[in-house]
Amino acid sequence: MKDEHIKLFKKKCSNEHLERLKTIKNDKVYDFIAKYAELCNPDSIFVRTDSPEDAVYIRKKSLKNGEEKALKTKGHTVHFDGYYDQGRDKFSTKYLLRQDEVLGSDIESIDREVGIKEVHALYKDSMVGREMYVCFFCLGPTDSIFSIPAVQITDSCYVAHSEDLLYRSGYEEFRKIGNSERFFRFVHSAGVMENNVSSDVYNRRVYIDLAEEMVYSMNTQYAGNTVGLKKLAMRLAIKKASEEGWLTEHMFIMGVYGPDDKRLTYFTGSFPSACGKTATAMLEGEKIIGDDIAYLRNIDGKIRTVNVERGIFGIIQDVNEKNDPKIFKALTTPGEVIFSNILVTSENNPRWLGDGRPAPEEGVNFAGKWFPGKKGPDDREVLFAHKNARYTIKLSDLDNCDTNLENKDGVLVSGVIYGGRDSDTSVPVCQSFSWEHGILAQAATIESETTAATLGQEGIRKFNLMANLDFLSIPIGRYIQNNLEIVKDVKNPPLVFHVNYFLRNKEGKYLNGIKDKHVWVKWMEMRVHGEAGEIKTPVGLIPIYEDLTVLFKKILNASYTKEQYEEQFKIRISENLAKIERIKNIYHTKVFDTPHILMKTLDAQKMRLEKCREKHGDYVSPFVLEKG
């Protein structure tokens, strides 16, 4: 450690915490901490180790300084973000790029030198009167080929507490790596605060420096902008994965039991928001490893994966005893839970939208004292809880958490599921012809229809390849190529499936029941092991009727008619052709590095559809295709 570092740390750290830093023995860590200790100028520095005592200290400090408040149930706390700080700030989240760097026309960026100068000016003395928390974590299980160490600097106990629930402790990991420079860095300050919340939203900044594998966050507390190891680190990891030959994906990881309930088959799944991702990952009777982000590697000719996180930062709206019994149990029994932006009743209990209980008449929420008809500072009516209200828990607190969560070797991926939301095109479940076909014709063509509740106009299709478009830090073409190349030398790649839970009839009625997804997942598990039949269609392989009747009876104790099957699984030729043209137009006009093989694959699918239409008409029954 340099003499100037020791001199600075002695001013800010106790002897105990200085010794904690000295055992790291990493010059890049010292430079990072010293730079922002001097710039942000905190009164003191707390260095977090992996000890439970350090986690307790931060939790208690968050309660003491008012960033969190204790609720009635033991271990439960609530945090409120500012009225205008309730979600990921896409406008203020930008990549710091050199003038010669290009990621894509839709990606927000700022000149690297300009951005750093700007955010450093905001950091100046931002932690005066506060304690700086230096926290060491690990993305992925520790002591693993998947591991990426990460160090977070923050002046927010709420942020540090959230990260403790969401990520593995990494202090010992940093001691092991010595002077290695392979780790991510994050620096955050809540900035100007009023009533314990960030208030200077006009100077909110979230800047991502890919060159330095570092993220800057300022004047915000909302976890999506401040918990650096989540979607912010995901952007860093996508680039790192591209350079090193593996994948960072916006995927859940779940284990699905076979017909005898003894075999457990692992799937990953990537769905845009509001398309059933969490509902699939949390299917009753199955196992969960992760709900959000996965690292995938080709290890000895097999695709293996780990959950980057150990916890869930989940949207709480509509979590109730009927729909999400496992999560609801964790949220209503003693244990460590952070609620954010819900309502707190006079009995000191949390309430949220869609929790299955009678609506409250009063309480306190992110806008202050709440009552029906309450108006916010923007003169809009305030619901009793925010639609983006969240809960933060450890996965290990869920009854259905799989024992392989901390397996440093990860789990074998047998199937990959891509989901979308469309009312008139895709069948409920379809298997691709091959890995290549799945990536190009399914994953790279995902669309999600908007709902009236979100944008005020229903049915607008939003393109979102691999459900990862918002987080890409490399060109789209390179990203697609990476997905194709990961199975190189893999003898039996995972099967690729596409699901659509939102198909409707002409009257607008959903053709799928809410629980039907469990049948589709069980069919996929059987397909992996060659235990279910298929019908070849122009767009992929679909289930045969007889297999589904057995599964509906066994899984849901429900009958499944030929009429239901035919309506759900008929191939809608015109709609599929229209989708191909929409997708091709997007790649032609917005993606400068579209792989030639993508267009070739889409054209081949178009040809199969047109040939099928010539023979069978615009809407083709699966029974007709089954006959050949």
Catalytic residues: 275
Pairwise CA distance, residues 452 & 458, whole Å: 5
* Beta pairing partners, 287: 255
Q: Do the bridges between strand 619-620 and strand 571-572 make them parallel or antiparallel, or are there none, so unpaired?
A: antiparallel
Tokens of 318: 């509509």
**What are 258's two structure tokens?**
């076979």
Angle between helices 157-166 and 52-64 (to 10 degrees): 140
The sign one gets for the Cα dihedral 154, 160, 166, 171 is: positive
Q: For residue 501, what are the CA distances in angstroms to 137, 279, 449? A: 37, 11, 12
- Which 3 state secondary structure label does DSSP give 206? strand
Angle between helices 476-485 and 231-244 (to 10 degrees): 60
H helical segments located in 428-467: 435-437, 452-455
Task: Give the integer Cα–Cα distance in Å for 267 and 291.
Answer: 12
Beta bridge partners of 431: 497, 541
Pick the closest to residue 517 from 414, 430, 428, 420 (CA basis): 428
| Sheet of strand 390-394, all strands in order from the earlier edge strand to the far edge | 69-70, 76-79, 337-340, 390-394, 311-315
